[in-house]
């Protein structure tokens, strides 16, 4: 059964939160698609994932590259699964994809400081439950560690 995890970012930037979650996905042997809301966001994330740490980077490509199918992480603005990923991250209010059941895990990250993002996350929660997915809600504690909330 597909798990849909809702990550509530409060006073946090996606650029700080996403890389460690992608690292954990790769450590588990998963391939990943990150669906963003615009080409500009994909370009910014593309640059950021090469430089977010001085001593490492996350191997990735955009959906436009000829070798996207071979990459462990693909950044995209469209639905589809160019690298046969098991995990899909949704950012910038991207909706649950029509093929969400084909993933082991879908991670919807939303900005708790943005009313529209909160409304979209609530709608996605209802959609996920209606489609029979296992949905969970996650929020960072005072030390920035993600905690499951009921």
CATH of the domain at 54: 3.40.50.10110
* Domains in the chain, number: 1
Q: What percent of the chain has pLDDT over 70?
A: 100
Indicate if the pLDDT at residue 21 is higher than 80: yes
Distance CA 70, CA 145 (A): 31
Report whether 119 contacts 17 (CB < 8 A): no
**Does the residue 96 lie in any domain?**
yes
**Does the residue 56 lie in any domain?**
yes
**Does the residue 104 lie in any domain?**
yes
**Does the residue 12 lie in any domain?**
yes
**Does the residue 132 lie in any domain?**
yes
Mean pLDDT of 127-134: 96
pLDDT range class, residue 57, cuts 50, 70, 90:
confident
pLDDT tens-digit profile of 74-97?
Answer: 999 999 999 999 999 999 999 899
Supply the pLDDT for residue 120.
95
In which order are the strands placed within the sheet that holds 61-62?
61-62, 73-76, 32-35, 87-90, 105-111, 3-9, 134-140, 146-149
Q: What does the DSSP 8-state code read for residue 88?
A: E
Indicate if the pLDDT at residue 150 is higher than 80: no
Angle at 12 between CA 80 and CA 46, to 5 degrees: 40
Range of the domain at 137: 3-141
Supply the pLDDT for residue 100.
96
Average pLDDT, the chain: 94
Report whether 59 contacts 74 (CB < 8 A): no
**Does the residue 130 lie in any domain?**
yes
**Does the residue 148 lie in any domain?**
no
pTM higher than 0.75, yes or no? Answer: yes
**Does the residue 146 lie in any domain?**
no
């Amino acid at each position: 059964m597909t798990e849909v995890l809702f990550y509530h970012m409060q006073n946090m930037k996606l650029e700080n939160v996403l890389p460690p979650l992608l690292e954990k996905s790769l450590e588990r042997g998963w391939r990943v698609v990150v669906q963003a809301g615009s080409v500009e966001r994909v370009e910014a994330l593309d640059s950021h994932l090469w430089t977010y740490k001085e001593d490492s980077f996350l191997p990735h490509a955009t959906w436009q590259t000829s070798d996207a199918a071979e990459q462990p992480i693909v950044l995209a603005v469209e639905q589809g699964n160019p690298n046969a990923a098991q995990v899909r991250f949704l950012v910038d209010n991207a909706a649950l994809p029509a093929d969400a059941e084909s993933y082991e895990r879908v991670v919807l990250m939303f900005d708790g400081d943005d009313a529209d993002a909160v409304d979209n996350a609530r709608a996605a929660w209802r959609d996920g439950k209606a489609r029979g997915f296992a949905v969970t809600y996650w929020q960072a504690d005072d030390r920035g560690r993600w905690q499951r909330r009921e």
